[in-house]
Structure 1
Amino acid sequence: MHSPLIRRKTLVVLKGYPRLSETFIAQELLGLERAGFDLTLISMRKPTDKKRHPIHDEIKAHVVYLPEYLHQEPIRVLRALFASWKKPNFKPLLKRFWADLRRDVSRNRFRRLGQALVLAHEWPDAGEWLHAHFIHTPASVTAYTSILTGVPWTCSAHAKDIWTSQDWELTEKLADARWSVTCTRSGFEHMRELTDRKDNVHLSYHGLDLARFGHFDTPRSSRDGSNRADPVQILSVGRAVPKKGYDVLLHALALLPAKLHWRFVHIGGGDQLAKLKPLAAELGIADRITWKGALAQEEVLEHYRGADVFALACRVAEDGDRDGLPNVLVEASSQNLVCISTSISGIPELLTGGENGFVVPPDDPRLLAVALEHAIREPDLRHRLGRAAESRVREHFDHNSSIRQLTRLFESEWQKA
């Protein structure tokens, strides 16, 4: 008798694939494949990153790209529409779509409907299950596809997708999905508040593939900011977008005492780089900053190992967007690199100020500067906090725990069928 894992071909709907900023998703996909899952990846966008992580080459799943914009592939969309027109579930799908459109009038709604029609019509690799990564637009495509095909679906929610979605939409999706998981307690509690099916919402930390982030046993430097020729190395990894708070971090760096010697390295792309670089010049710290752009994972790992302090000034953006638990904090901590961050979302679930890192309020450059100065001047303290952070990661954030949990959740549904 075949394992239920083998006989359930799962179509995983993603916003884009592969993406440098979503290594946690790639890690999960690879973990599921290794656990025996048969996956096909359905990407709503083609890749835009010039580089890719090695993990993407290890994932064997077939990748299918839906039309990113409907007008770019009109024949494909029209064929799907005509094929769906006479299906018995087309009317229920239209009813749901119009109900959504009345509450959120946007071209985006039509795009998601069109993408769902294409997915249902082409139905790659004889899929038997649908799973959405992100509960906003990928879950919309997945939910519409499920209505039309009758194939059940499940969902992984993360951060931005939860906090920038309307409550009514989350409530409906949580009612439709067989189960949903999310990666922070704050997101988990918010989702549970919005559904009567509370037992179908689960907390599942992404964790880290500790085989890729092995213990770094080389002694860390004792730089304390007193030597101009050997400044303290401050690192940050993240896209330059509002929720990452890089403007706050630059202001904090500018508040450090002039005689304290440091260098700041930023890794990541992002639209705000064009604003951050002039801001650094305006603050008089541009000559102390290196902007690396996006790097592959093995290059990022080397930077974790060469740095003295990791800083990430997460905040809630004006549109409600925010991080959950940034994977880069888990990665940096795994290398016993002390982290300074904020009390946003799931960050306090990893870092406890004074025990295994520094945690300050968001949008407060003064207190962030105090924490930075403390970490720079006291190498013994940052070594102790970094070791404690690594212990927490290796005890509580091993991604194999998440893969085992997801496996149980999928199996519980498949055994009902």
Structure 2
Amino acid sequence: MTGTVAYLTKRFPRLSETFILDEILGLEAAGVPLRLYAIADPHEKLVQPDVSRVKSPVVYLQSGAAGVERWRALRETVVAHTQLLRESPRRYLGVVFYIARRRRHLSTVKNFAQAGRLAALLRENDTRHLHAAFAHGPASVAHFVHLLTGLPYSFSAHAKDIYVSAPDLLARKVRDASFVLSCSESARTALTSLAGADTTKVILAHHGVDTQRFTSSEWVGSTGVDESPLRILAVGRLVAKKGYPVLLGALKMMNAAGRTPRCTIVGEGTDREQLTALVNDLGLTTTVEFVGSQTHQEVAEHFHRADVFVQASVVLANGDRDGIPNSLLEAMASGLAVVASDVAGIPEVVTPTSGLLVPPGDALALARALERLDDDVALRQRLGDQAREHVVEKFDRTACALRIAPLFGVEVGTRPGALGQFTVPYVADREG
């Protein structure tokens, strides 16, 4: 099959969106001819070293520059829309009326403008398919490109992008897409429950992690000496849905019970100041250390120094929540015992044999689970071993990419198997 597959995301590269980077690398390794597009450049100071392994250059739809560059981008957008209107006035005006009848939020208008420019770029690069990495902004842009040009499109849905999107618009995106990839079964259920959505198009496709980079080591965890403090690790953006106040509450309870855990929190975010103040208020300044954003390699080193990984995710009032956090998969691949909230897609990876689940928002239950692991080194080791085995079997980056590569026209096997409404080539087991 000729032509390229355009892969559109909101911002690239982002340090916290390692699952996007992993998926891109996995698809390229599987032979999918990707060309990358992003709505904007995040201009983050810290970039994952693996970004340099991405083969495709990145084209940005929105110029962050001032002056001449910004005016050039605006001119290209106007020219692109003018050409689309001239080529197919009925189709173009139909999209305009579709937008006017429903929602005229500024973000919708911006997505429509970006779609015109992207459509022109895709035409120049012999694009056969467009895939968007999120169900909100990127999928809206891709949907508008489809409506304007007829180019087949698909999108991936994760967590927040599902639960904070307008249900009627999201259902239309699902209905018009060639297929939709859902990163968890809970997310798939949310998508298939949308009124008017074509449920046969929604395909479960878990994110994978690099199980060669994140691997267990003989020196994972403490020596088991009774007086050795339990070393707890949490990794993720410092935002409300990660549930850090719940973790801090559990640590306070452990201290009150005479225990002396040590907790390292990796990540940055809008709640940093609030969480630092809470640590001070709870008297946890000698218990908790914030180390900021870290690269993959630095995070891997933290995994090897920890005894237990905690994922204290919660569901916010607006519906925002985690899907299956990549840091959780990375911790399990590293052979760490994990304690995680029983919420969203987390129970799909943390099973009764591979970790401990606690109710979301329950600091007491989290404290009790951590105390159990503090008292039982053998249990920590057993859960860590089984966690790695589970992730290697079900969530390896290469294997996950091979499972979805046929949807993008890449043949990776010969035995047919059904995937939703699609009949795709069988992906052979890695052993044979």
| TM-score, shorter chain, exceeding 0.5 | yes
Structure 2 SS opposite 1:257: helix
Is contact 2:265–2:291 with CA below 8 Å preserved after alignment?
Answer: yes
Q: Does residue 177 in structure 1 map to residue 172 in structure 2?
A: no
> Which residue of structure 1 lines up, in the alignment, with residue 414 of structure 2?
none
Q: State how many pairs are aligned.
A: 406
Answering whether residue 393 of structure 2 is matched by residue 395 of structure 1, we say: yes
Is contact 1:70–1:77 with CA below 8 Å preserved after alignment? no
* Residue number among 67, 77, 80 corresponding to 2:77 in the alignment: 80
Partner of 1:301: 300
Are residue 27 (structure 1) and residue 19 (structure 2) matched? Answer: no
CA displacement 1:305-336 (0-9 Å, x = unmatched): 11011111101112211111111111101111
Corresponding letter in the other structure for 1:367: A
SS at match of 2:155: strand
**Which SS does the other structure have where 1:340 is aligned?**
strand
CA contact (8 A) 2:7 2:36 kept: yes
2:408 aligns to what?
A: 410
Mapping 1:255-404, distance limit 5 Å: 255-258=253-256, 259-353=258-352, 355-404=353-402
Structure 1, unaligned runs of 5 or more: none
CA-atom RMSD, angstroms? Answer: 2.3
Of 373-382 and 120-129, more deviation after overlay is shown by 120-129
Amino acid at match of 2:49: P
2:23–2:208 CA contact under 8 A, matched in 1 = no
Distance 1:71 1:109, change over 3 A: farther
1:18-46 C-alpha deviation (Å, 9 max, x unpaired): 01111111111111112222211111121
- Whether the aligned pair in 1 keeps the contact of 2:220 and 2:305 (CA below 8 Å) is no
Residues 401-410 or 67-76, more deviating: 67-76
Q: Aligned with 2:286: secondary structure?
A: helix
Helix, strand or coil: the match of 1:202?
A: strand
Amino acid at match of 1:191: L
- Say if 1:71 and 1:117 are closer, same or farther in 2 by CA, change over 3 A: farther
Residue among 6, 13, 20 paired with 1:18: 13
Give the fraction of aligned pairs with identical amino acids, expressed as a percent.
35
2:255, 2:261 within 8 Å by CA — same for their partners in 1? Answer: no
- 1:124-151 CA distances to partner (integer Å, 9 max, x unpaired)? 5332321100111100011112222322
With over 3 angstroms needed to count, the CA separation of the structure-2 counterparts of 1:159 and 1:68, relative to structure 1, is farther
Mark the runs of 5 or more structure 2 residues left unpaired by the alignment: 411-421, 425-432
How far, CA to CA, are the matches of 1:304 and 1:222 in structure 2? Answer: 15
User: Quick check: 2:160–2:322 contact (8 Å CA) kept in 1?
Assistant: yes
Go from structure 1 to structure 2 and tell me whether the alpha carbon gap of 1:48 and 1:376 turns closer, same or farther (over 3 Å shift).
Answer: farther
1:219 & 1:128 partners in 2: Cα distance? 46
Establish whether residue 245 from structure 1 lines up as the match of residue 279 from structure 2.
no
252-261 or 333-342: which moved more?
252-261
Shift of residue 80, structure 1, vs aligned partner: 2.2
CA distance in 2: counterparts of 1:192 and 1:35, whole angstroms: 28
Q: Which residue number in structure 1 is paired with residue 233 of structure 2?
A: 235
Pair 285,154 (structure 1): closer, same or farther in 2 beyond 3 Å:
same
Instruction: List per-residue Cα deviations over 1:216-254 (Å, max 9, x = no partner).
Output: 233632446x53xx4221100000111101111111111
Residues 356 and 98 (structure 1), Cα distance of their counterparts in 2 relative to 1, 3 Å cut: same
Q: Distance in 2 between matches of 1:231 and 1:385?
A: 19
SS class of match (2:32): coil
After superposition, the Cα gap between the structure-2 partners of 1:307 and 1:215, relative to the gap in structure 1 and judged at 3 Å, is closer
Contact between 1:93 and 1:144, CA under 8 Å: does it hold in 2? no
Q: Which amino acid aligns with 1:317?
A: L
Provide the C-alpha distance between the structure 2 equivalents of 1:96 and 1:162, rounded to a whole number of angstroms.
23
Contact 1:146 1:153 in 2 (8 A): yes
Which residue pairs with 1:118 in the alignment?
117
**TM-score normalised to structure 1 length:** 0.91
Task: Give the one of 15, 39, 44 matched to 2:39.
Answer: 44
Q: 1:56 aligns with which of 51, 58, 64?
A: 51
